[in-house]
Amino acid sequence: MEKIYVVFFLLLIMSACDTNDDCAATDPPPQSIHISILDTEGNSLIGENNIYKPTEITLDRGNQNIPLRFYDYDGKTFIELYYYDMESEKDYNLMLNQQETDILKLKINIYNTDCFTELKSVEKFLLNGEEIQRDNETYSYIIQK
């Protein structure tokens, strides 16, 4: 009878090791979204020689500054927004330049997986109270100006 318990215990440990190995080889999903600002013709409005300069664009709520990263892809400049520290359904000031500030509000879903806890995903993207759907072609939220 003791041998059965020992075998059961070893099988339990081995199955736990397999799960841990799978988790060790898995990265958590990115906690960021991508945003583009385009004119009515689809031209990017972000760039050092454009209307919205990356050095002037900020996102904050009171004393909390949310880091933004900018990158170019396919002739457009995108904002990568890491929303992990953002509070769900709170107003954030998206300052585009000295004259223009929009209100950004994200509805953030918190969930768990077998390998990770408290992961976040964006359920809703609101700009100035209007919901913007993610573009399936660019996987970004497009702000039309």
Residue recorded with tokens 């972000």: 46
Provide the terminal-to-terminal Cα distance of the chain, rounded to the nearest Å: 74
Instruction: Assess if residue 15 is contained within a domain.
Output: no
Q: Is residue 49 part of a domain?
A: yes
Give me the domain span that covers residue 58: 29-144
Examine residue 1 and state whether it is found in any structural domain, yes or no: no
pTM: predicted TM-score of the whole model, two decimal places: 0.80
* 124 inside domain: yes
Total domain count for the chain? 1
In-domain check, residue 59: yes
Amino acid letter for position 66? I
74 within a domain of the structure (yes/no): yes
Contact 131, 115 (CB under 8 A): no
Note whether residue 122 is domain-resident: yes
Distance CA 36, CA 72 (A): 10
| Residue 106 belongs to a domain | yes
Note the pLDDT tens digit of each residue in 35-93. Answer: 999 999 999 999 999 999 999 999 999 999 999 999 999 999 999 999 999 999 999 99
